[in-house]
Amino acid sequence: MNQRSGLGLVLAGVFWAMALVGATGRDHRGRMQAFDETLNFPQTPATRPRTVGSSQKESGLGPGASLQGKRIFPPDNPWNQDISNSPVDPNSANLIASIGVDAVLHPDFGTVWNGAPNGIPYVVVAGTQPLIPVSFRSYGGESDPGPYPVPRSAPIEGGPDGTGDRHVLVIDRDRWKLYEMFSAAPVNNGASWIAGSGAVFDLNSNALRRAGWTSADAAGLPIFPGLVRFDEVFEQREIKHALRFTVPRSRRAYVFPARHFASGDPNPDLPPMGMRVRLKPSFDISKYSTANQVILRALKKYGMFVADNGPGWFLSGAPDPRWSNDDLGMLKMIKGSNFEVVRMGKIVTE
């Protein structure tokens, strides 16, 4: 398929989740909109992140485990490219306006929201993790076949009963491979899984998806490298890669390193999948907390890619009970007008 709309994906996820696991939970987009309405700017100093002991996290295995500074992809990969001095795209003003000049940056991650972890979770496994069958439905023709090393208890975006995108991300620490699924649900208590689509990435390689292929993300990009992670912010105190965000309307086009579009609208003032923006160099980050400055420095140096359709300026991250939601909420003082588009290369429309 050459198109994939955000609405179509969500509906597919709802169908398979409800049909096979009886999910009656939350709607992902509705949940995020509610979060936006209820989380106001904190008027008190941000709370410190709580200390959560976990032998799995300390050993580098388990949900939300630390990668202990190991970098995703080779140094010359686009995700790891320093774009702080790259030229601005000639159409930057119109592209930013289409996302929302006055709309605010929204951290789409944190601790818990509405009873489920807030963000896109991941799990780190050892090379001995058993491989299990995975059956792909909506985009089977554009998916990397299984088996995948998915634990029976692998965390699902939105929780076990979530009805949103239901991403599942698995990092094989020893083979250094990434397995990602969209609209995923366990079958027979996790003995096998079904999913709308899936993709496997060799984290030692710069290889891309086939041209025109989706992944577990609408842009055909990996999801995990674009997440804000607790271990990078508080352990490494540096994010050394680009991040990921969503836009309300995208173009029927994609630009390197994306491989897939998710719209039928050819309007040149709409962002194509893979478009990269950065926080303007002149933006003053000194008033933000030390943790938020780590995120903002990354947005200046590496920027963030348009990866999917969704609410405008929603910045993706992994959930962790140690985040301070109050502190993350301060990022909502940043507006679309504080960003600019990095000059794009060849734009693919077919």
pLDDT computed for residue 109 by the predictor: 98
H-helix or E-strand containing 222? none
Compute the distance between CA of residue 264 and CA of residue 262 in angstroms, rounded to an integer.
7
Say how far apart CA 263 and CA 125 lie, in whole Å.
Answer: 35
What pLDDT is stored for residue 208 in this prediction? 97
Which parts of the chain fold into alpha helices (H)? 6-21, 28-38, 55-59, 92-99, 230, 290-301, 325-329
Q: What is the pLDDT of residue 114?
A: 85
Gyration radius of the chain's alpha carbons: 19
- Global pTM reads 0.85
The DSSP 8-state label assigned to residue 331 in this structure reads: G
Distance CA(224)–CA(182), nearest Å, equals 13
- Which 8-state DSSP code applies to residue 49? P
Long-range CB contacts (< 8 A, 24+ apart) of 40-43?
40/329, 41/329, 41/330, 41/332, 41/333, 42/326, 42/327, 42/329, 42/330
State residue 53 phi and psi, 5-degree precision. Answer: -80, 140
What pLDDT sits at residue 113?
87
Per-residue pLDDT tens digits of the chain, which is 350 residues long: 444 444 343 334 433 333 333 333 333 323 333 323 333 333 333 433 433 444 445 568 999 999 999 999 999 999 999 999 999 999 999 999 999 999 999 999 999 988 899 999 999 999 999 999 999 999 999 999 999 999 999 999 999 999 899 999 999 999 999 999 999 999 999 999 999 999 999 999 999 999 999 999 999 999 999 999 999 999 999 999 999 999 999 999 999 999 999 999 999 999 999 999 999 999 999 999 999 999 999 999 999 999 999 999 999 999 999 999 999 999 999 999 999 999 999 999 98
Give the helix/strand (H/E) hosting 238. none
In three-state secondary structure terms, 241 is coil
